[in-house]
Chains A and B, each alone.
Chain A
Amino acid sequence: MAEPTAYVLKAEDLRPAVERLFELGEEVIAPTAPAPGDVFYRPVQGVDEIEFEFGNALVSPVQFLMPAKEVLFEYELRPGQPPEITPPEPPSERILFGIRPCDIAAIECLDQFFIEREPVDTLYEQRRQRTTLIALACAEPAADTCFCSCCEGTGPVAESGYDVQLSLVGEVYLVEFATEKGERIRQQWQDLLEPATEELFAAREAQLRYMIENLFEPDSNLAAAIRRVTGDNVDPEAWEEIGADCYSCGACSYLCPVCTCYDVMDVPYDESRGARIRRMDSCRLGGFTREATGHIARPTEASRARWYAYHKLSHDYHEQRSNYGCVGCGRCIIACLGQIGMPTVCKLIRQPQAERAS
């Protein structure tokens, strides 16, 4: 990402600025609140549909880049001839507005996994190339489950990964344009913008420090858990404890914006036509590693808990994702039927054997 160019936007000019996004003729996806407290990212037709006062949505906007279910191709069987195979239509251009920094960090992980790391996932890449990301930095923790502050700079302000980022600092937004896609938006907003001052950056930095030091629960300490998992220095009893509280429902990984696993299956429409689809899957489910022989590589909750933690936290996987597999969005804490969201998992991983025995 090139050095972002920074401007100031008056807080009251946010709505007019967002209104102009619709003039670009692209699909705009933004947070909406169909009922108080329920926040969903959805395609919107106008600025009035958008919810500006929100924490974060339970279902991450990464769903617009990696949908829960997607058609890989459609087929039609033809007697005596090879079947006809039709790939999906290329995606159209769109703007994702109001993405929280943790989800921006998750998208960076997906970019690394699906695009940078061969072979390229063409379906993801096409959508990604046609998506403009407008981030909305958090001026306070979005929820009491947030722990981005201990996830290597994934939030509450994004360090990279966005095209445009808006950070509310007092009465104004600091607006950073980081890419060519962002530049397009800058031109649209030109007459609403003033160049940003050093003082504004300093003020945001101070606000960020204050938040990290005072407003977040500090005790998930992901870094220490990462060291233990990477060094294979975890009391095996920890996996049993985590496993004992796991219902193998998969909710944590379904909601995790960094999780990418999927299943592939055919869905016939009728005798001769149908689609091959991929759809979200979870390594927390018992059948995830079942081979045709019936052998299951990870048959217990404990073994799957260990795998989940290893895959997300071990340094072995860092390169494939450009970060660890957790961005601190806290969704697994909300989703877990037990009490084993990522911060608790980290705590149990860190607990030394001696302490557990006593």
Chain B
Amino acid sequence: MAHDDYIPMHARVAEITDETPTEKTFTLEFVEDELPFRPGQFCTISVLGAGEAPFCIASSPARSDAIQVTVRRYPQGTVTSALHELAVGDYVGVRGPMGNGFPLEEFTGRDILVVAGGIGLPAVRASILYLLEHRSAYRNVTLLYGARTPADRVYNDDLAQWEQSPEIVCRQTVDMKDEADDWDGHVGLITTLFEPLDMDGPQTTAIIVGPAVMYPFVVAECRQKGITDENMYFSLEAQMKCGVGKCGHCAMKDKYVCLDGPVFTYAQMREMQEY
């Protein structure tokens, strides 16, 4: 990143998509700069006066003059609420790219299993788009996506497209549904999507993002399928204030999640967890 670490780049809100009642996707066009990034990297978004918070870059790395982020609003969340109040044409500040990202170029020739729970899907969307853009370099690409209810699902257009695509196996589930829900898909926890999968475990690399409660169960399923801890990649969340390895908030064991992560293998996470 540039030397003036704390000065954000200006970006204009070009489009806002309502994903769910609590999640919106913002398309941000840079006024002067570009932001080349790797899938799995993140940036911070500022609404001046409210503050700044980290978000995964959810768009394809093929474009660096504009990015997309999907933001879940927390009821009293200062920055996320301010972002949700924005209109097209407003300006935000962006710093980044930050973090290591998923080393997708190391996964060529392998099967890729992407597991996304809830708000984890934005964190892997850039990776899915990248994999599809470089499709011939990989073997099978599978996405498992679980949301709490049908109404909590994000990226409905993408998902509909991926479900039809021969390039990717896309399986979805919801934890629960109401009578009123117009959902004829699978109902059950995300782990129930593993059972019918025919996988070549040792040849598979898994990319897993979701709420922390999901991790032990997904790890157990992956191990069951023969995926090693070294081949399970996670993107971790932590409180972050600077994104440049100085404020200390995101430190875990001897790693700074913002600099050394947010992507870690499960083998690394086992070492870090207690701290």
* A314 in contact with B254 (CB, 8 Å): yes
Nearest-CB distance from A108 to chain B (Å)?
17
Complex Cα spacing A173 to B79, Å: 56
Q: Give the complex CA separation of A81 and B90 in angstroms.
A: 8
Is residue B65 contacting chain A, with contact meaning CB distance below 8 A? no
Which residue of A is nearest B48, CB measured? A75
Min CB distance A258 to B, Å, is: 12
Bound Cα distance A265, B77 (Å): 13
**B-facing residues in A279-314 (Cβ within 8 Å):** 281, 283, 288-293, 295, 297, 306-307, 310-311, 314
Contacts of B89 on A, CB cut-off 8 Å? 80
Is B239 engaged at the interface, CB distance under 8 Å to the other chain? Answer: yes
**Residues 225-275 (chain B) with a chain A CB within 8 angstroms:** 237-239, 241-242, 244-249, 251-254, 275
Closest approach, in angstroms, between the C-beta of A256 and any C-beta of chain B? 12
Q: Is B246 a contact partner of A114 (Cβ separation < 8 A)? A: yes
Residues in B with CB closer than 8 Å to A316 are 253-254
Contact across chains for A291 and B238 when beta carbons are under 8 A apart: yes
- Which residues on the A side are within 8 Å of B48 (C-beta)? 75, 77, 83, 266, 274, 276
Inter-chain contacts of B244 with A (CB < 8 A): 119, 121
Contact assessment for A83 and B80 in the assembled complex, using a CB-CB cutoff below 8 Å? no
Segment 302-354 of A: residues with Cβ below 8 Å from B: 306-307, 310-311, 314, 316-317
Do the beta carbons of B52 and A289 come within 8 Å of each other? no
Surface stretch bound by A, among B3-11, B108-116, B151-159, B170-178? B3-11
Contacts known (A77-B49, A310-B275); A291 close to B239, Cβ less than 8 A: yes
Q: Judge if B211 is at the interface, Cβ distance under 8 Å.
A: yes
Q: Which residues of A contact B46 (CB under 8 A)?
A: 276
Contacts of A123 in B (CB 8 A): 6
A268 CA to B239 CA in the complex, in Å?
Answer: 23
Interface contact B275-A264, CB-CB below 8 Å: no
Asked whether B247 lies within 8 Å of A120 as measured between CB atoms, the reply is no
Cβ-based interface call for B180 (8 A): no
B241 touches A264 (CB 8 A): yes
Q: Are A72 and B6 in contact (CB-based, < 8 A)?
A: yes
Interface presence of A262 (CB below 8 A): yes
Q: Is B1 on the interface with A (CB-CB < 8 A)?
A: yes
* A261: Cβ under 8 A from any B Cβ: yes
Contacts of A5 in B (CB 8 A): none
Output the nearest chain A residue to B246 by Cβ-Cβ distance: A121
Do B49 and A119 have beta carbons less than 8 Å apart? no
Asked if B74 is an interface residue, CB under 8 A from chain A, the answer is: yes
Q: Are B49 and A307 in contact (CB under 8 A)?
A: no
Q: A73-B6, A276-B6 are in contact. Are A295 and B212 (CB under 8 A)?
A: yes
Contact indicator per residue, chain A 251-275, by CB within 8 Å of chain B (1) or not (0): 0000000001111111010000010
CB neighbours of A231 from chain B (8 A): none
Please, how many angstroms separate the alpha-carbon atoms of A278 and B241 in the complex? 9
Cα distance A264–B244 in the bound complex, in angstroms: 12
CB distance from A234 to the nearest CB of B (A): 12
Give bound CA distance, A80 to B31, whole Å.
13
Are A87 and B51 in touch, CB under 8 angstroms?
no
B169 within 8 A of A: no
A59 interfacial contact with B, CB 8 Å: no
Pick from B4, B80, B251, B253: contact of A87, CB under 8 Å: B4
A82 near B49: Cβ-Cβ < 8 Å: no
Residue pair A289, B249 in contact (C-beta under 8 Å): yes
> Does B249 lie within 8 Å of A288, measured CB to CB?
yes
Residue of B nearest to A298 (CB): B275
* Complexed CA–CA distance, A312 and B80 (Å): 34
Which residues does chain A contribute within 8 Å of B252, judged by CB atoms? 297
Task: Enumerate chain A residues within 8 angstroms of B246, measured Cβ to Cβ.
Answer: 113-114, 121, 260, 262
Give a binary string over B183-220; 1 marks a CB under 8 Å from any A CB, 0 the rest: 00000000000000000000000000001100000000
A-contact 0/1 string along B18-52, CB 8 Å cutoff: 00000000000001000000000000001011111
Within 8 Å of chain A (Cβ to Cβ): is B145?
A: no
CB pair B52–A82 under 8 Å, yes or no, is no
5 further A-B pairs in the complex, CB-CB below 8 A; given A293-B212, A310-B253: A75-B48, A80-B89, A266-B50, A276-B52, A311-B251
Task: Point out residues on A near B: beta carbons under 8 Å.
Answer: 72-73, 75, 77, 80-83, 85, 87, 113-114, 117, 119-123, 260-266, 268, 274, 276, 278, 281, 283, 288-293, 295, 297, 306-307, 310-311, 314, 316-317
